Chain A
């Protein structure tokens, strides 16, 4: 059956074709659609879950793999940092059923905090990694990954990048999927219980095994050589391989070597591919991993070869490669011309800048504005976190002073409270992030007597990554309605004494709640609860009464809602964007904004 799917969809369908029995993960761009795709296709007999975080997801999957079932875990690259604790250990223990950890990297970065490289994790943990160049390959390669995982009894990393995850292609899949077998867990303390002695033993075995996998990878179907040219060769991996192919269309003969398995490095393959080559250019994204392996190989085998890439400045260390960048690099290296004629726009008029902003009617805007109003003129620090609400940093709200990683806002606010006298320390956290890694931070605050005001921005979804359910929503990925985990009860249970719940769109009440909390000491929490506008129907629309409006533009200056625009010199509300949240009418000094007259 032919299906036109996103790269993430191809990974999901590949895993289903491979008979996966359990899929767990935590949402994160560019990986989120893998689990969503599994949920959209018939997957009877497959346990599917959004886990509370990546560490939980991997641990759930590890047990499935110990039981002999095939299991897949999905996350973005920084999620792998969260899951690195179980990952390091399970690398020593090994698996029975295939265990594939998909960690999607994000060169650019386009929607991430870091430009880290999952291939480095593979090397660090000493486990194999697969690096697909397209959705079509991803579909095939994820199935290979399960095979290798079982053949060598090891967890395997699978590393697509954003442009592979978000590219669409047609793939051929079976009409239906059958989950694989699961023999069931068998007790064997010498195998499943990690102890120093076992780690010592397995460490030696793993290094021997990796030499064997490296040799096997030397004949792996996606490690390829094209072109017969000698003297110079280009080495590429991941989507960069396809950028290079795009550039070299019509340039017959250039030797192009592609490495799809960076670790264990296929040394024999590379030695053969480099025969007759004096100069090699490495085109890869994120880190110069393959470049370093080639340098290592050249040193080990005394090859007289010049290696260029990121380390000699030929390829930038940061950002994604893309066809245009690759074209310039290849032209210089090969002495050819590959770029197409393009329109010069250096003389273009100044283009409007479009930084991402909170949606029109977003309740987070109201929450931030309430805190801003309540704390006017007082010394305060606003610790942000990961989610749509990071966009609270944009002007005119300007309400995010720090943002580090998932859950860090809550704990950082504590550090500020212990070291800055007279500073009101706020932490903003979304509902999904609260469950992912916020709760332990709150316990830390209670136990260590921090002086913080926790603002939970509860919009009843994981909005940023595409509205995934979480423990507070009462729905799970098996399609079941379950008991909602109450944020207030969690806070109460861990010992937070002051907990207020407000609707941020009722501005006066929200401001009063913040003032009330700010006047007290200890750990105080406010739950700002209002659903995400992207998943609720707008109640009504607001309109400006031109007879009352004095065009002071306070609404625009104060809250910066995208629905507030200036048309023909007058403040107007864009009906197509307005959700009728009414925040602008609370801000208007002359009561010129109200519900729209029918």
Chain B
């Protein structure tokens, strides 16, 4: 049986999913929200045939399921909803096999006992959305006893994710509540007058070594859900090596500022890859645009260095561009493009001539279809090489972001 997972790239990477018997609180600031973490976790597990129970008191079951659909997370019979919402509102509870209605959710004993009995039916994952509403209705002591009950019923199988909004509660109450959970993940906005970024941070986790997790920027895409956000990846290299081709082959929405096929200002695309999204910027290769290079390299956290495998005269320029973009020393992957063409150097030879060190990874790429090459358009590269280069760069970046 596969492990229970968060369905969110970095959390599953750093925490190795969510083990059985563990309870995680997603503590969000009110301006950011945490509901999509719940949607994504439910979806990622039910498609793996995991049985998921959702205690829902924030929205009606159909509103919740519709919201999930907006993110492209369709549900199936592996999801059972315990509806603690409808009977405190005007809504007539829905009748469906996988929706169980709590008759009087305002009765705290009934709510606790119904949840406890339902957990006994055997689930892999429990999602509670939301605990802060229960705190508002019944108080912190009740919320703590609910977590205790969940822990006592886990029975070596259940992993739990609890959605909590951090309104202006007493910090002592929050600390006491969080002490009941095995892990707490804070979700925050980077905001002044406006929200210009969102991040999550694992502030506590008792099943991995301290220091093995860090905070991560994320964006919420609709559809798509939570994607880890990498602010900038730079694609650089000499003229005509294939930088624009690499960006247009990686990103669906790539655009180039070019003239007669040569990039004269920059290429840009949004990369959506392995649960991450990243802004990719490509530099122009011609020396007359060198004044732009420092600006384009600024704030990049990873580099794809594209070289023409058939033209070693461009290699010194490739190294010069790393220096001019001030990205020398960042995580880097060399892309040896046009590797299938006559005269292409072997990968070892290219590495040797670039003097970037033995440990720098190098990946060959080739055009998708040589018969379709248009000198005025970026050539599409075969997916295999592009994905391999990105996978390696992302594996280098995961410890950095």
Question: Do A and B form a real pair?
Answer: no
Could you list which residues of chain A lie within 8 angstroms of chain B, going by C-beta atoms?
Answer: none
Could you list which residues of chain B lie within 8 angstroms of chain A, going by C-beta atoms?
Answer: none
